[in-house]
Amino acid sequence: MAISLNARVSILKGVGPTLEEKLKNLNVARVGDLLLHLPMRYQDRSHIVPLRNVTFEQECLVEGQITACDINFGKRRSLLVTIDDGSAVLTLRYFYFSKQQQDGFAIGRYVRAYGVARFGPKRLEMVHPEYSTSATPLPAPVAALTPVYSTTDGLGQTRLRKLTQQALALDFADDGNPEATTSWPLEQLAYLHQPPADASAADIERVQQAIAFDELTAYYLVMQHRQSQRQQQQSLPLPQAQQLGRELLSQLGFKLTNAQRRATTEVLNDLARSQPMLRLIQGDVGSGKTVVAAFAAIRAAEHGAQTALMAPTEILAEQHYLNLSAWLTPLGIDVVLLTGSQKAKERRAGEAAVADGTALVAIGTHALFQRTVTFHNLALTIVDEQHRFGVHQRMSLRNKGQVPHQLVLTATPIPRTLTMALYADMDVSLIDELPAGRQPITTILVNNNRRHDILERAQAIMNTGQQVYWVCTLIEPADELPASAAEPTLEELQQALPGYRIGLIHGRMSGNEKASTMQAFKAGEIQLLVATTVIEVGVDAPNATLIVIEDPNRLGLAQLHQLRGRVGRGDQASHCVLLYKSPLGKLGQTRLQVIRDSQDGFFIAEQDLKLRGPGEILGTRQTGEQQFRIADIARDAVLIPKVIEHGKQLLANDPAQAQRLLATWAPADTGTVGV
């Protein structure tokens, strides 16, 4: 019987509601999704390794006849099965076993096992290998590589393999719509689920890339589709009105950089239109994106319309609030802050002001806005995304009015090829210039055995009235990690530097505690702040001129660059000390050298992409979000120009195929493609 690839997985034999739920965790809802859930890697179970040839740590398939089966009552009870293939003997060891299993290992029976060989007390053994037994010689092994899938709790490899095999055996060719399957790379998918035993890594990668090309094309089409949908929507046009922006400009106390001026003009031009703006402002840490956002909010306010500014953390929301209220309140624009740690009464008052439209600018965290706030007439949303990529795509606020304009601020220095693919639905303004007078940050790598020197350095800095960040990657010590933790480091520094005002900030503190600690640091009441990476995003204390980062090799390059950007924000020379513990390893050393030698966020991102892959850069690794099923942006970035060309071609010449690609890869986005 023919079956649709879009049918729910529950049509497969053995898939009930529980399993269906589990499969959803793997992003598998349709039968076709099961085919798109490709193996992470493969095992070679296509040939049997003679026992004589098995070596330490080899992962392999072996076979033999059982010559002994005993329970060993040593330190830990275990079942020992000895097998012999005529060339040598090997032990299979099971710590967990049933009576039934034990009986299955009768002397003389044939066993085939797959596992890793390790040294046992007498000879090589495999601990808990997968196995099958038989009274007669076993049939030849399958002539294909065995897939290993990423999976979820309670769903084993064997079950997943069998399901995939079941799906692959279905007849999709004729489900009433002969065109429906043409966009599914069925042959290639079948190949990847079961590559021939002699397939090389390069063979496999070639097929993966061919499929990735389809996926990226579909992604491009989705972006184009969204863009054309957006062009049909209406937003409140916000043309030039009063001259409040000029007033701010004259009161700022600094001159905008050319890049800031350009970005502001681009934003204000977009806002004047009735078509919703969707613009990304990309600018390195400290490039001054906030003030551009302020001009946009002022423009909305001139029309009596509201702006929502969303920050990724409470500290940052608080800081935006301080900046924006200082800039906008004198212009007669009411700004409110909404955070989860506010007193309920205070927050309700803020929410009421947002709901009745008296507050024209509301600042808060992403989470909070999505949960509780309704706007009176929201005309503009600003998302400060820092390096959490892709937040804007899921952002929808409750608003009584029209579709708001959207501005996204990001410090993520995404290489250009990636921007083209990932932000294909957005316009981009680049702030590629730092404010004048910024002192460069000198970065040095220092071995932890010279910790004492660094303590003296911190002391000297504090003696000049300047301030210090001291960053640890952990809050408390963890046995398994040889990394410094913030709490003991605080004690150490308090003892080593008596009489200095030393504070602590970390992610487990309440929002209020964090905010007041940050305030105290900004006000100079704290001279040295021991911190975790909570300070990495956007925190601004211009008098801090030294940042010490412990165990820098535990952090991504983009993250290190962000952290380093906490200093060098004023007009004094600043320093960053990367305090590492040896051994660093070759890759670790190379990575830290990249940071030491460059302050160019884009260059660092490109190096990071080369050295570590895109998860780090796009923040997807930290957040566990996955952008693509099959495409790997680091590997497949080279395809992107061709993807864009192909996507355009499809839209122009073969919209039906474009439609089918979308149906395969992005069923939720399937509608009318912009043709």
Taking residues 504 to 543 in sequence order and writing x for each that binds Mg ion by CB under 5 A, - otherwise, the string is: ----------------------------------x-----
Which pairing describes strands 361-365 and 306-311: parallel, antiparallel, or unpaired?
Answer: parallel
In the range 569-588, which residues lie near ligand ADP by CB under 6 A? 569
CB of 287 to ligand ADP, least distance (A): 4
DSSP string, 629-655: SS--HHHHGGGHHHHHHHHHHHHHH-H
Q: How far is the CB of 383 from ligand ADP (least distance, A)?
A: 13
Residue with smaller CB distance to ligand ADP, 376 or 561: 561
DSSP for 439-507 reads: PPEEEEEEEGGGHHHHHHHHHHHHHTT-EEEEE-SBSS--TT----BHHHHHHHHHHHSTTS-EEEE-T
Q: Which does 569 bind (CB under 5 to 8 A by kind): Mg ion, ligand ADP, none?
A: ligand ADP
99's enclosing H/E stretch is helix 99-104
Considering the rule CB under 5 A, would residue 283 count as an interface residue with Mg ion? no
Phi, psi dihedral angles at 170 (to 5 degrees): -70, 160
Return contacts of 596-604, CB within 8 angstroms, 24+ apart.
596/443, 596/444, 596/445, 599/440, 599/441, 599/443, 599/561, 599/564, 600/284, 601/284, 601/285, 601/411, 601/413, 601/558, 601/561, 602/284, 602/413, 602/415, 604/413, 604/557, 604/558, 604/561
Number of residues that bind ligand ADP (CB under 6 A): 18
Residue 314, Cα to own-chain centre: how many angstroms?
Answer: 20
Please pick, from the candidates 254, 272, 326, 510, the single residue that binds ligand ADP as defined by CB under 6 A: 254
Q: Which of 3, 249, 256, 475 binds ligand ADP (CB under 6 A)?
A: 256
Q: What residues are paired with 528 via a beta bridge? A: 468, 502
Contact window for ligand ADP (CB under 6 A) among 53-61, 282-290, 300-308, 660-668: 282-290
DSSP label at 537?
Answer: T
Stretch of 18-26, 278-286, 442-450, 610-618 contacting ligand ADP, by CB under 6 A: 278-286
Which is closer to ligand ADP, CB of 391 or CB of 644?
391
Residue 371 touches which of Mg ion, ligand ADP, none (Cβ within 5-8 Å per kind): none
Do residues 558 and 605 touch, judged by C-beta distance below 8 A? yes
Residue with Cβ nearer Mg ion (85 or 384) = 384
Output the smallest distance, CB 293 to ligand ADP, in A: 8
Lookup: tokens for 512: 């209020």
Closer to ligand ADP at the Cβ: 291 or 298?
Answer: 291
Q: Which residues contact 152 (CB under 8 A, 6 or more apart)?
A: 22, 25, 26
Q: How many CB atoms lie within 10 A of CB 629?
A: 15
Name the minimum Å distance from CB 520 to ligand ADP. 18
CA 453 to chain centre: 36
Residue given tokens 């700004």 in the structure block: 335
Rounded to the nearest whole angstrom, what is the least distance from the CB of residue 411 to Mg ion in the complex? 6
Residue 435 binding ligand ADP, by CB under 6 A: yes
Residue 412 CB, shortest distance to Mg ion, in Å, is: 12
Residue from the set 380, 411, 414, 529 that interacts with ligand ADP by CB under 6 A: 411
Region binding ligand ADP by CB under 6 A among candidate stretches 17-25, 33-41, 279-287, 504-512: 279-287
Helix, strand, coil percentages in the chain from 3-state DSSP, rounded to 5: 40, 20, 35
How far apart are CB 260 and ligand ADP at their closest, in Å? 6
435 binds, among Mg ion, ligand ADP, none (CB under 5 to 8 A by kind): ligand ADP
Taking CB within 5 to 8 Å according to partner kind, which of ligand ADP, Mg ion, none is near residue 88?
none
Minimum distance of ligand ADP from residue 411's CB (angstroms): 6
At 361 the three-state DSSP class reads strand
Write down the least CB distance from residue 553 to ligand ADP, Å.
25
Of 417 and 598, which has the nearer Cβ to ligand ADP? 598
Binding residues with Mg ion: total (CB under 5 A): 1
Question: Closest CB to ligand ADP belongs to which residue?
Answer: 288
- The dihedral through the CA atoms of 207, 209, 211, 213 has a sign that is negative
* Per-residue tokens: 172: 């999709």
Q: State how far the Cα of 92 lies from the Cα of 131, in Å rounded to an integer.
A: 10
Question: Could you please report the per-residue DSSP string of 214-231?
Answer: HHHHHHHHHHHHHHHHHH
CB closer to Mg ion out of 64 and 538: 538
Structure tokens at 301: 């306010």
Residue 368 CA to residue 130 CA, distance in Å, equals 48
Positions in 536-555 near ligand ADP (CB under 6 A): 538, 540
Least distance in Å: CB of 373 to Mg ion?
22
Q: Which stretch binds ligand ADP (CB under 6 A): 248-256, 449-457, 627-635, 647-655?
A: 248-256
Question: Is the Cβ of residue 270 or residue 432 nearer to ligand ADP in the bound state?
Answer: 432
In angstroms, give the least distance from the CB of 340 to ligand ADP: 22
- 264 lies in the binding site for ligand ADP (CB under 6 A): no
559 binds ligand ADP (CB under 6 A): no
* Contact between residue 595 and residue 560 where contact means Cβ atoms under 8 Å apart: yes
The 283-322 contact track toward ligand ADP, x by CB under 6 A, reads x-xxxxxxx-------------------------------
C-beta of 567: minimal distance to ligand ADP in Å? 12
**Positions in the binding site for ligand ADP (CB under 6 A):** 254-257, 260, 283, 285-291, 411, 435, 538, 540, 569
Q: What is the contact surface with Mg ion in residues (CB under 5 A)?
A: 538
